[in-house]
Structure 1
Amino acid sequence: MTERAPTTVTVDRDIPFHEAAGETLLLDVYDSTASSGPKPVAVLVRGGGFTVGDKGEFARHAIDLAEDGYLVVEPQYRLAPDHTFPAALVDVKAAIEWCRAEADAYGADPRRVVAVGHSAGANLVTLAAATADDPAFEPDLYPGASSELSAVVGYSGVYDFRAMAETDDAGDADIYRQYLGGGPEEVPEAYELASPVAQATVSTPPALLLHAEDDEVFSPAQSELLARTLDPLTTVAYEPVPGGHGFPFAGAFYDDVYDRTAAFLQRHVGVTDDPMSVHDGPSLDEGRGPGKPPGRGPTSGPDDPRF
């Protein structure tokens, strides 16, 4: 693998982007002084079971994507139980629309916006992709700005709450009830509307779904189900990867995950003529072995690897 030069990435933190239900939501912008616009934009959405956490989980990915020529945005979103579905989805869409309406000062290319999410964040980015510009889920801010995505990447996501409700233990089921506002018998429409499997259409953008083979939180069957749903509608790749639920942040697997993600995004919103100009690893089509040792950025990970 090619060694990286010292980082040229700057971070603008705590930029207000959405006022909702008495809360001011903030986002961080990662930008590299070594690259110039127009830059594709990557929106990174963390996990947390829809109930805990804050921006910053994706800092390592954000630094590496910024060094590779992306403008990177990591937003907050409202949490359950204080805010139930679709609050978090609306917040993610607000962040996407902020990129189109407000990020021109950073050299953002509004035609090329992608999103990457982990766990609950994977649900939110794939659902945002499937419901782009749907008036039922759009924020009031940024009129005229689209929430459309050019490509989406999900890491070990939950994509069908209806299926999860049939198999989950009581603890996880309680989390879903907090987020969705009740059980499947009480609010069946929320379980359907919050499931990307049920909302996917031919307008859904290309998707890469990576799921941990030993995931202890969400079964790989969730990604398999979404992949089967998307297959006749759009370009989709489902790839089992080594590790447990927190695999995107594990040092042993990080480089492999990052390279798969970067190669996929390069195909759809590429920043260079050579998608592997920075990374020596094999292309997405060549297959991969076990994760490589870490070689980028500061280590970071979720406070709660379950989500």
Structure 2
Amino acid sequence: MRTIFLALVAGCLACACQTATTDADRPLQAPRGYLNETLLNIAYGLGSLDLIESTPAVPENLEAFTDIPYKTIDGLELQLDIYRKNGLQEPAPTLIFVHGGAWKKGKRQDYLPYLIDYAEKGYVTATLSYRLSGVATFPAAAQDVNCGIKWIKQHADAYGVDPDRLALIGGSAGGHLSLLLGYGGEEPLFNRDCEQGPDSRVKAIVDLYGPVDLTTPYAISTEQVQRFMGSSYEQDPEMYRLASPRTFITADDPPTLIFQGTIDSLVPVSQSDSLQRWLQQAGVPNEYHRLKGWPHTMDRAREVNDYCQFYIDRFLERYL
């Protein structure tokens, strides 16, 4: 039986982006979860768990700008894609999606469903590639994402981007990088190799099950984290601290929306619990959806996707 929820998948946010059909003034109830991942996978195998379409066609009412180079380093050209409505007249709020995949795999195109859906809602949407851990270790990925944000701001006029209304959205490893740059984008370590230009500050962050503290006993013992870091915690604890979004949390950080499943076996729910606590202590506006009985990449399930989209829409309307 194919186990789709047990890998730290590239798409993490790859979801159909369906609009919830619930009255806007009434909270949407979280979908009923599962006792454990085994039962969830049985449900999937029996066909009772409906998954979203991950590779939709780009509709004719959208413009797609693909394979745009934004950075070249060590002979590697990094690219991004941008989507917007045809005939966009005014600069629009912009969503930048950062793909997941345990920092070792994944591709920017995994976000196509979200990119299409939110472009149709009137946003400009963007997704970018970054160096994976098999190519370069931390801080390479963080530097690339930071450079990508700056590039989008610098070229805002060409694509209808409102540079003052940007949000970062990511799941799993992409959630980690979104949090890290959303809170710590001004850290000098993350600003190397970028062209001179605007800063990388954003107005909002949406995090789906992204790790926030890479210094916990669980995190420092995992192979994915060690590969991403390029060293063990004992060898370089300071770099692990700098790779942890929690290090950079301050009162002026962007409002943050968090989604996490309680049976996530890859990113423990304690990571998101702690993130919400630290944001509360710092006075950062936040909203936390702790979904009982759902695992990693839970938003591939249609009913979870509907739930997440319902609250993402309202969060963006409020803060972007």
- Which interval holds the TM-score relative to the shorter structure? 0.7 to 0.9
Query: Structure 1, unaligned stretches of length 5 or more?
Result: 270-307
Q: From 61, 71, 79, give the equivalent of 1:26.
A: 79
Aligned to 1:112: 165
Aligned to 1:247: 298
1:11–1:29 contact (8 Å) kept in structure 2: yes
User: Residue 183 in 1 paired to residue 183 in 2?
Assistant: no
User: Residue 219 in 1 paired to residue 272 in 2?
Assistant: no
Structure 2 CA distance, aligned partners of 1:215 and 1:8? Answer: 37
CA pair 87-63 structure 1, distance change in 2 beyond 3 A: same
User: Residue 237 in 1 paired to residue 290 in 2?
Assistant: no
2:61–2:85 contact (8 Å) kept in structure 1: yes
Shift of residue 169 of structure 1? 9.4
Structure 2 CA distance, aligned partners of 1:250 and 1:11? Answer: 27
Aligned to 2:134: 81
Q: From 132, 140, 145, give the equivalent of 2:193.
A: 140
2:168–2:202 contact (8 Å) kept in structure 1: yes
Q: Deviations over 1:50-76 (max 9, x none)?
A: 011111111111111111111111000
Q: Which residue identity is paired with 1:255? A: D
Aligned to 1:282: none
Q: Deviations over 1:206-236 (max 9, x none)?
A: 1111112221211111011111111132111
When the two structures are aligned, how many residues end up with a matched partner? 262
Aligned to 1:210: 259
Shift of residue 120 of structure 1? 0.3
Shift of residue 185 of structure 1? 0.5
Structure 2 CA distance, aligned partners of 1:245 and 1:152? Answer: 19
Aligned to 1:196: 245
Aligned to 1:57: 110
2:70–2:78 contact (8 Å) kept in structure 1: yes
Shift of residue 105 of structure 1? 1.4
Aligned to 2:11: none
1:85–1:180 contact (8 Å) kept in structure 2: yes
Query: Alignment partner of 2:162: what SS?
Result: strand
Q: How does 1:292-307 map to 2 (within 5 A)?
A: none
1:181–1:187 contact (8 Å) kept in structure 2: no
Q: Deviations over 1:162-191 (max 9, x none)?
A: 11xx12596xx1221111111111111121
Q: From 148, 170, 174, give the equivalent of 1:121.
A: 174
User: Residue 258 in 1 paired to residue 309 in 2?
Assistant: yes
Shift of residue 35 of structure 1? 4.4
Structure 1 CA distance, aligned partners of 2:218 and 2:95? Answer: 33
Q: Deviations over 1:88-132 (max 9, x none)?
A: 011111111111101311211111111000000000000001112
Query: Alignment partner of 1:56: what SS?
Result: helix
% same residue: 32
Query: Structure 2, unaligned stretches of length 5 or more?
Result: 1-19, 22-58
Structure possessing the higher relative contact order (Cα contacts under 8 Å, 6 or more residues apart): 2
Q: Which residue identity is paired with 2:72? A: E
1:155–1:211 contact (8 Å) kept in structure 2: yes
Query: Alignment partner of 1:178: what SS?
Result: helix
Instruction: Tell me the TM-score normalised to structure 2 length.
Output: 0.78
Q: From 144, 149, 170, give the equivalent of 1:91.
A: 144
